[in-house]
Structure 1
Amino acid sequence: MNKLSLLGAALMLLAGNPAVAAMGPFEIYEQAIRNDPVYLGAIKERDAGLENRVIGRAGLLPKLGYNYNKGRNSSKATYLNERGNNQSDDRHYNSYGSSLTLQQPLLDYEAYAAYRKGVAQSLFADENFRGKSQELLVRVLDSYTKALFAQDQIDIAQARKKAFEQQFRQNEQMFRQGEGTRTDILEAESRYELATAEEIEARNEQDASLRELGALIGVPAIDIADLAPLDQHFQTFTLQPANYDTWHEMAVANNPNLASQRQALEVARYEVERNRAGHLPKVSAYATVRQNESESGNTYNQRYDTNTIGIEINVPLYAGGGVSASTRQARRAMEQAEYELDGKTRQTLIELRRQFSACLSGVSKLRAYQKALVSAEALVVSTRQSILGGERVNLDELNAEQQLFTTRRDLAQARYDYLMAWTKLHYYAGTLSEQDLARVDEAFGQGPGTR
């Protein structure tokens, strides 16, 4: 075969195997980093917040300023002459002045407090971005699993409809032959319609989830066939560390939302200090190089070159009570930040405990649902045989099939709940990373040709 034929064969192979293009959660995340407007906005928010450190530091550094003026003056000077009479002179002249001033704060507690506030604001921006970065991992997996679970519900609903439709026809035929009842027909029809309604609801949920994923990667929506399905035989993860106390310590130390709230408290604390500094004196050193010529009536036709170096002291005495009021206001805001930190800490630890318990119980739930599924499948088979033997009725078969489909749905839900609980546990502990999502990604589409 020539190269052209080989290329055509490869394209046909790819076209015949659409699963090759299936995307796992990690690939969705990689695209979301480049396209999600929430994440991209968080980057700009962080970059803007980091500038607060430089802005605050500027108040402690020297300031250099230059002033220049040149003008045309017209004035009338009146004075006493030798005879004691008033005499006036009209003066038309150019004036000129320039000065270069260097000033360095020596003692300025307000500037120092503003600097420390800027540092805290910069750290707040960094921690806030870290939190939103981890939140993106959770959002990707949440929308991804919701879309897949909706597909599972659609498949189950369609299987139920098929089973109930078949049962309906059998009951109708038996009724015509005088061996069935009208109640059996109505029961099968009712359950068929309920399955139809559940399928419609699942499709709506799936459409919303797929649109959420599309918004993350910058497209209107994606197709469910583009997503790699969950491997039905995936293994649960070993929980490390295994005890809750260690997770508790990790959350208190590493959770980015708690860390950003602590920095918000530092911002409020130094805002109190900045306002309190309105009562304190300021001392600064300065040096000035000044040139002026005919700058005023007293220096008419005179030129001065002046170099000055000195100390300036500014002592506030009274500001109408504004400084005290601003300090009280800032202190109340600081106390509010303390309560908010306490509330957020409690809520975070509650969620941490919930996800930790969900991870532990999730393993047992999956095992129980898997056994229940085997039992439910066996129950359907035995019920059908019992009906043939006259020991059971059609309603018993409908109930057995209903139990089977419910168990399938609950097992699918338990699988996705477990993966979300494991991910959220690391999120609330503040340790969620791309490596964790890559580990979860291994549970999806592990069959041949899915990557």
Structure 2
Amino acid sequence: MSRQLPLRRFRWTGVSLRALAIAILAVGVVAPALAEGTQPRPAPRSRPAAAPAGVSSLEAALARAFATNPDIQAQRGQVRATAETIAQARSAGLPQVSATAYAGVLATRSILRGTPTNTIDGATLGQRGVALTATQSLFDGWRTQNSVVQAQRLTEGQRQQLRAIEQAILLDVASSYVAVLTGHALVDVQRRNIGFLTSTLANARTRLASGVATPTDVSQAEARLSRGQADLSAVEADLQIARDRFARLVGAPAGAQLRPVRPLDALLPASRDAARDVAGTGNPAVLAAMEQVRAADAAVRIAQGQMLPQLSVQGQVARDYDTATDTRRVDSAQMVGRVTVPLYGGGGPEAQVRQAQELLGAARLQLDSTRLQARSAAFAGYTAYLTAGATIRAATVESQAAQVSVEGMQKQVEAGVRTLVELLNAQQDLTIARARLIQAQGDRIIATFTILAATGRLEPARLGLASLVPAGQPVAPARSDWDVRGDAWRDLRTVPPAEAPRR
């Protein structure tokens, strides 16, 4: 509901009202005349929002995704939230101070016995008072210390999980960039193939008109051209899908001309076995699982601490008014130490210990599973890397030989030594060899990033991207305890906003 403006804003003077009436009459007389002699101007078109600039290099794509990807941002918030549990755990070992004030009415009525007649005595007192209480835990079965250790381990585990998510996102970005780069190259290969087939079809029709070729040659050329057009449509569709995925991951479209990917072979381990060993100890998911084991071990000690003695001390100063009819004020101060020895809790603490021990065992098994997966991923990635290298070498030789074969076949067809179908088959072999070479080059790049992610080395600092990562929005520092407490008390000073109506 919109706010009503104050009435004082609508207090017009008599002169202002007359001027407003004259202006309205003038507009009513002049506007029709202007409308008859002039055409209304079209409303200016609003300019569309400028599209984000295209990303033309893998380095820029990785830096942008690292700084702006929502999955990474969400995990960073999770790390900050988990870090607050450290302060929460430490608070149990710090003094707890509270202030108390009370006010009320106490009515008493007493009847005394042992006298000839019962004596009734009554009084009404207005009680009030204030107190300041401080409690300090001296020993709680090491639960506070173990809770702090548990919170620290969980926070470190979240940090390692953040590294794992960052590297997974960077791997996806690299894969999508390579897919777009490869897609452009495959489209170019298919277009060159169509250009060759179109020229060959034109030559076949010319030769048919001259009586040198046969209608079968023309039909074969037309069939191969139709197949080439279908292959071009397929690779163009794959390219559009790759570009859409790239824009989703990076937050900006890919540029029209993409730069080649610089080699990162120097960052790879020396062999497959070395990659597998590094992944078993350096993979972020493995490190996160290790922290989960340490946190679960601390949880066992926390549960065991419930069965140990508890020692605390409490101090209080108080002032009470009108405690009796003949007492105006009572000031008191006390210091009390308490020792509590748990004897039996119905089996609850023991069950919690057994539960924590089972969770510790499960965390250790999960660590073993995560380590095996990381080692397997590194081994498979390195195998794909070696296979792609061998394929590149073979496809390079194949494409060069196929190019020579097509060039020689063209001359032989013109001389009548070879048939047109042999030339078309040679051109098909050349196109397949070129596509295989392009695909193998892309596979080798993706395998490189897969190995880096599996070994925990796919980080901006190692990739030389630290200077390219945008600063983005500055992260606000954590608020102090007094600021947070002030926010909680603010509701007592301000009216909560009305809830918006639901549609």
**Normalised by the size of structure 2, how large is the TM-score?**
0.73
Deviates more, 1:262-271 or 1:311-320: 311-320
> Which residue in 1 is equivalent to 2:377?
351
> Which residue in 2 is equivalent to 1:425?
451
Counterpart selection for 2:187 from 144, 154, 160? 154
Counterpart selection for 1:199 from 223, 232, 243? 232
**Over 6 Å off, 4+ runs:** none
1:21 Cα deviation (Å)? 8.2
> Which residue in 2 is equivalent to 1:69?
101
Deviates more, 1:209-218 or 1:47-56: 209-218
| Alpha-carbon distance between aligned partners in 2 of 1:137 and 1:26, rounded to the nearest angstrom | 10
Within a 5 Å distance, the mapping from 1:197-346 to structure 2 comes to 197-219=230-252, 222-225=253-256, 227-230=257-260, 237-238=265-266, 241-294=269-322, 301=327, 303-346=329-372
Could you say what the CA RMSD is over the residues aligned between the two structures, in angstroms? 3.0
Structure 2 gaps, min length 5: 1-52, 466-503
1:405-441 superposed Cα distances (whole Å, 9 cap, x missing partner): 11111111121222222222222111223255349xx
> Which residue in 1 is equivalent to 2:170?
137
1:51 maps to a residue whose letter is: E
Within the alignment, does 1:57 sit opposite 2:83 as a pair? no
> Which residue in 2 is equivalent to 1:445?
none
1:44 maps to a residue whose letter is: G
Assess, with a 3 A threshold, how the Cα gap between structure 1 residues 185 and 88 changes in structure 2: closer, same or farther.
farther
Contact 1:154 1:202 in 2 (8 A): yes
SS at match of 1:279: coil
1:51-95 superposed Cα distances (whole Å, 9 cap, x missing partner): 222222222x22222231221214132231755504041414122
Counterpart selection for 2:392 from 366, 371, 376? 366
| Alpha-carbon distance between aligned partners in 2 of 1:394 and 1:405, rounded to the nearest angstrom | 17
Deviates more, 1:355-364 or 1:407-416: 355-364
SS at match of 1:242: coil
| Alpha-carbon distance between aligned partners in 1 of 2:124 and 2:360, rounded to the nearest angstrom | 62
| Alpha-carbon distance between aligned partners in 2 of 1:94 and 1:363, rounded to the nearest angstrom | 89
1:148 maps to a residue whose letter is: L
Assess, with a 3 A threshold, how the Cα gap between structure 1 residues 52 and 188 changes in structure 2: closer, same or farther.
farther
Structure with higher Rg: it is 2
> Which residue in 2 is equivalent to 1:405?
431
| Alpha-carbon distance between aligned partners in 1 of 2:61 and 2:371, rounded to the nearest angstrom | 31
| Alpha-carbon distance between aligned partners in 1 of 2:144 and 2:408, rounded to the nearest angstrom | 83
> Which residue in 2 is equivalent to 1:5?
none
| Alpha-carbon distance between aligned partners in 1 of 2:263 and 2:349, rounded to the nearest angstrom | 63
| Alpha-carbon distance between aligned partners in 2 of 1:327 and 1:118, rounded to the nearest angstrom | 18
1:355 Cα deviation (Å)? 2.0
> Which residue in 2 is equivalent to 1:17?
none
| Alpha-carbon distance between aligned partners in 1 of 2:242 and 2:463, rounded to the nearest angstrom | 19
Contact 1:210 1:224 in 2 (8 A): no
Assess, with a 3 A threshold, how the Cα gap between structure 1 residues 282 and 201 changes in structure 2: closer, same or farther.
farther
| Alpha-carbon distance between aligned partners in 1 of 2:336 and 2:73, rounded to the nearest angstrom | 50
1:238 Cα deviation (Å)? 4.9
| Alpha-carbon distance between aligned partners in 2 of 1:183 and 1:342, rounded to the nearest angstrom | 65
| Alpha-carbon distance between aligned partners in 2 of 1:285 and 1:186, rounded to the nearest angstrom | 100
1:101-156 superposed Cα distances (whole Å, 9 cap, x missing partner): 13133233332332221011111111112222333332221111111111112112
1:223 Cα deviation (Å)? 4.6
Contact 1:56 1:119 in 2 (8 A): no
1:172 Cα deviation (Å)? 4.9
| Alpha-carbon distance between aligned partners in 2 of 1:280 and 1:175, rounded to the nearest angstrom | 102
SS at match of 1:357: helix
| Alpha-carbon distance between aligned partners in 1 of 2:356 and 2:221, rounded to the nearest angstrom | 69
Within the alignment, does 1:79 sit opposite 2:105 as a pair? no
What percent identity do the matched residue pairs reach? 19
> Which residue in 2 is equivalent to 1:29?
62
1:1-22 superposed Cα distances (whole Å, 9 cap, x missing partner): xxxxxxxxxxxxxxxxxxx987
SS at match of 2:306: helix
Structure 1 gaps, min length 5: 1-19, 440-451
> Which residue in 2 is equivalent to 1:444?
none
| Alpha-carbon distance between aligned partners in 2 of 1:120 and 1:164, rounded to the nearest angstrom | 65
> Which residue in 2 is equivalent to 1:115?
148
Contact 1:210 1:223 in 2 (8 A): yes
Assess, with a 3 A threshold, how the Cα gap between structure 1 residues 436 and 70 changes in structure 2: closer, same or farther.
closer
| Alpha-carbon distance between aligned partners in 2 of 1:171 and 1:278, rounded to the nearest angstrom | 92
Contact 1:148 1:224 in 2 (8 A): no
| Alpha-carbon distance between aligned partners in 1 of 2:358 and 2:136, rounded to the nearest angstrom | 35
Assess, with a 3 A threshold, how the Cα gap between structure 1 residues 402 and 68 changes in structure 2: closer, same or farther.
same
| Alpha-carbon distance between aligned partners in 2 of 1:300 and 1:160, rounded to the nearest angstrom | 112
